[in-house]
Structure 1
Amino acid sequence: MENPALTQIANLRLLVGFLGEQSQFNWWPSSFFTANSSAFLSPIFSKTAFIARYQGVKEAASRVHDEHLGIGAIYHLFRLPEHVEQALFISLYHITWVRSVSTWVQNQERALESLASLIDVSPEDGEGPVLVGNIDALCAGKTLGELAYHYQSAFARGTLAYPYYLGNA
């Protein structure tokens, strides 16, 4: 991926998506990163199985976030402005990115370590919906560390957090 902010958003999406699945912290009812899922998806999506898994978990997480936050001029990690979603989708096809992140979703411990490495601030802990700022800040890569913190903190505490952004983007 060429845009560092897009790379970080995709990384964070992958990690939180994986950690929120049924076999991890059970925030959403999906199992796209299990061995069974791989066995099912690989024959159908022989060259793009990883992307199919990523998109599946993104959709599952998006639905849960939307249930708690609503839709409209509210954005979250799994539902961003259309131009950002399109750029993310296109950049998922970079094989070097897929190779670099595929090891993160092999087990919960590795994913939590990778998530913790993205944190660069320690804001107040929040539970449930947590306003992070304006969507333009996320698109510029300015609040990714804070976003990572809220998810990591909720996983560690055994609570649920739904960080969100306001904006018209």
Structure 2
Amino acid sequence: MPDQRSSSSPSSPRKRPWLWGSLMAAVASLVAGCKSPSAPRAPAPSPAQQGQASGRPAPSDAATPRAYRQDGARHLYALNAQRIYKGQLPPVLYAVGTLEIDIDRQGRVQRLHWLRAPRHAPEVIAEIERTARAAAPYPVPARLGKVTYIDTWLWDKSGKFQLDTLTEGQL
């Protein structure tokens, strides 16, 4: 009588090639998973980062003062990252001031003019003016030649701030 466990047995490897294929695929995936990951590639620097690496901000391509305001605000945030209020501002702010800034063809501050100064907080006025001047040179207004732009400074009692252009809102 022939042995029933011969090649005709349902558990025979010859009768279940899918089982061997699945087993080999599982082993291959385990081996691949054991490889050390390659170091992540650093993203290419943006034009703004390239400009900052050279010590000068990248030129602004803004065609209007309102569009330039975005570039000016991002520039101020980049230079004052530790002073930016993270998240939504509290419902009551210590000071709010609206400042007009004249930027020349080289990105230098030519003039600061308060449209709405927080007169109850003269130390905030002085600090905003110091911060705005210290941020020069600003992105060169390449398409505009020179520019006058306006932004509102939202000042928390902690001394941190947001600009209205990039604000995260208020609670």
What TM-score do the two structures reach when normalised by structure 2? 0.29
Which of 1 and 2 has greater Rg?
Answer: 2
What TM-score do the two structures reach when normalised by structure 1? 0.29
Q: Which has the higher strand share?
A: 2
